[in-house]
Structure 1
Amino acid sequence: MDPRKMRKKPRGFTARYLGSAKNLVASERTGAADTQLGMALTFVAGAINAGGFLAVGQYTSHMSGVFSTMADNLALGTFNVVLLGLSAFVPFVVGAGCSAILINWGRRHHLGGQFALPLMLEAALLFGFGLLGWIAYPSVGFSLIAVPLLCLIMGLQNATVTKISGARMRTTHVTGIVTDIGIELGKFVYWNRDKAGPDVRADRAKLRLLSLLLSSFFIGGVIGAIGFSQLGFLFSLPFAALLLLLAGPPIAADVLAHGRRVGEG
């Protein structure tokens, strides 16, 4: 085989990968890119949420349950449980706020990888969670850090996908996904008897997207539960690597573009 042809294959593969990853997290969005990115991140959310439950004994994306538990225990006077709830609720809010700060900073600086910035931060936090669990579990200090850290990660991711999709998608909020599926199914079976009024029609594209997101979350949950039970905290590292692969090319492109502008200046 011609050696020159062998050398071209890696470059072609690399170019395709960089182009695909860059398009998935680009500031200019398409419906296909939103669907693919949403499925990838919902898969990660399901895995981390289910695996995190096995690791720390608490789901870290269900803020409705956390907030209700805080209200119940405040009424009962069990303030220690209220403080535990705050240790999950506040980091989730902080994570969402960090996402908004990073995305808006990138937008103000005209970065093509503005949405990649919070995903890169999420990858770093997941990597830190895996190493922390591997080193410190089951110490008391680890349990005090793990839940807030996972809630921070979930808030960061959910806000990022919300911003990317214009609030059409949530990756950690399955209640909203299931509610929207129910709405579209109700519209799908609605009988338009009154021809004088507007017809009720289900949004089939939206129903398909929501079903894909729900399936991705469930599959991620199954794989996360199996992985964490068999391999422990280090199983979070492949998910950190996936986020790194998604976020790396757009950020690298911005860095190279900045370097060219500085060189030309």
Structure 2
Amino acid sequence: MSLTTVVQWMSEQRQLGQAIALVLDSEDERETRQQLLRSCDYERYCGVYHQTPVSELADAGPFIFIIEPREYAVLDTLLAEPQRHWGWLASLPQQQLPALTRHWRERIITGTRPNQALYRFHDNRVLARALAFMPEDARPGYLGPVTSVCYWAQSRWDVTHNPAPGEHPVPDQPAWLNVPAPPLLAIDILHTNIYRYLWAERSDEMLTLSQHRAPDEWLAEQLTQARHWNWNTPEQLHFLVLHRLETLERPLIKNWSPRDHETPQAHFERLLSEVQFWAGETPL
């Protein structure tokens, strides 16, 4: 589908009396965000991370704007470059921005401590893959008050409708969290989630690290090492990243390498036991 798809979709939704919302990746589209903030009334935008446990990341988090005709020039610029992965468009009933914001605030944090992560709902690649894999009856719990979405999916514009728009509770087992991600996208999402978590929860250690290394590059090295060792579980990644961050100046483990014929799980458990020993928690 071409850009004509987007124009037709917007026209149809407006004829139905729907508002058009732009879900924007604020971190990578700051100039666009500032343009819209200058144009939009307070009632027509919201920073999703505000008033949430990750409010420290609000400035870099996603924003939702209700777009009026006077903002179409800004929107045209985005639509001309979908490969920037700036976000996606949604239609929803008038005056439903608070409901939509509340909907995503209830879904942005996944997992339980210490293995929590941010769900990047504002990334069109994440949205497109979720909608491609989940059954239609799971869409209402995912899209909430949204009537229809229009988004860039790999190499074309696509549209998906919500069969039952409204306010829905978060399912016990959200279908969108069981969607397989392409390897490169999964790595990128994992890196982003852990990086933001570290700045939110371990800012002192990250500031210390930044005096010697670029934190982003350091984290990429840790995740590359984890893949090399086939450490893929949340517990293994959590242990590797946090322990290395906490012991930057005085490392407890001198040799992280696996032993001959040692399985990834045995390798992990051996190093975990070593750390617990030096912490006085268990005998070695």
Under TM normalisation by the shorter chain, which class is it? Answer: under 0.3
TM, length-normalised to structure 2:
0.24
Q: Which has the higher helix share?
A: 1
Higher RCO, Cα 8 Å, sep 6+: 1
